[in-house]
């Protein structure tokens, strides 16, 4: 039974768990507290590869400690760069287009962190463009959107408009709570073939 309101991050997690198989290559585009990075590592196992991006070095240092505690540091690579460089950075690491099974975005700013270090529409769309090229057939991109603050609202609108123009083989979905004002929402992009 679900006793609390469903969170978009948990919902994204359910899709992620259902898609990723041991051995897959996956990306966390906004590592933040490392929650998704650890979930991804659990799903791929040591035969897979997880790449996690964040522009905050402090956040990555904390995640590095968590990776060691969980014993997953050998197959998780933390990248201190903006996700807008994702395609080029992964290419330089030998990751080819059409090979990444899941790419996870949790936008906005770190709760309890510096609100000025938030994702923003222009760079998020650059990252999503790269993510589409990297994505494997049957793969998914998940994007948690936070329209409750002003930059987040602009960013959400940009992402949703961009999704509406996606063509085959991609299918874009939008999940949202109906009776709350500007709730976080979830976009899922599937690549069908």
Minimal distance in Å, beta carbon 82 to ligand SAH?
Answer: 4
Q: What Rg value do the Cα atoms of the chain yield, rounded?
A: 16
Centre a 10 Å sphere on the Cβ of residue 192 and count the other Cβ atoms it contains: 10
Contact in structure between 24 and 43 (CB atoms under 8 Å): yes
Minimal distance in Å, beta carbon 111 to ligand SAH?
Answer: 5
Minimal distance in Å, beta carbon 114 to ligand SAH?
Answer: 8
* Closer to ligand SAH by Cβ: residue 110 or 131: 110
Q: Report the interface residues with ligand SAH, using CB under 6 A.
A: 30, 32, 53-56, 59, 82-84, 106, 108-111, 117-119, 123, 146
* Closer to ligand SAH by Cβ: residue 44 or 156: 156
* Closer to ligand SAH by Cβ: residue 64 or 123: 123
| Helices within 8-96 (DSSP H only) | 8-19, 35-44, 57-70, 86-92
Centre a 10 Å sphere on the Cβ of residue 75 and count the other Cβ atoms it contains: 14
Minimal distance in Å, beta carbon 137 to ligand SAH?
Answer: 26
Contact in structure between 141 and 159 (CB atoms under 8 Å): no
Centre a 10 Å sphere on the Cβ of residue 68 and count the other Cβ atoms it contains: 11
* Closer to ligand SAH by Cβ: residue 65 or 192: 65
Nearest residue to ligand SAH, by Cβ distance, number only = 108
Minimal distance in Å, beta carbon 167 to ligand SAH?
Answer: 26
For residues 70 and 62, give the distance between their C-alpha atoms in angstroms, rounded to a whole number.
13
* Closer to ligand SAH by Cβ: residue 57 or 167: 57
């Amino acid at each position: 039974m679900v006793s609390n309101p469903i969170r978009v991050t948990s919902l994204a997690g359910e899709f992620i768990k259902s898609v990723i198989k041991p051995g897959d290559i996956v990306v966390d585009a906004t590592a933040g507290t490392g929650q998704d990075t650890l979930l991804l590592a659990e799903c791929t196992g040591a035969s897979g590869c997880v790449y996690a991006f964040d522009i905050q070095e402090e956040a990555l240092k904390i995640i590095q400690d968590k990776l060691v505690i969980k014993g997953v540091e050998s197959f998780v690579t933390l990248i201190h760069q903006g996700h807008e460089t994702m395609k080029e950075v992964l290419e330089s690491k030998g990751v080819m287009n059409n090979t990444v099974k899941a790419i996870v975005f949790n936008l906005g700013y770190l709760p309890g962190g510096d609100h000025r270090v938030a994702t923003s529409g222009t760079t998020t769309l650059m990252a999503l463009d790269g993510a589409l090229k990297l994505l494997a057939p049957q793969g998914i991109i998940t994007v948690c959107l936070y329209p409750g603050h002003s930059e987040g609202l602009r960013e959400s609108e940009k992402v949703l408009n961009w999704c509406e123009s996606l063509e085959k083989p991609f299918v874009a979905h939008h999940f949202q709570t109906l009776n709350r004002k500007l709730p976080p929402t979830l976009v899922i992009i599937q690549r069908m073939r």
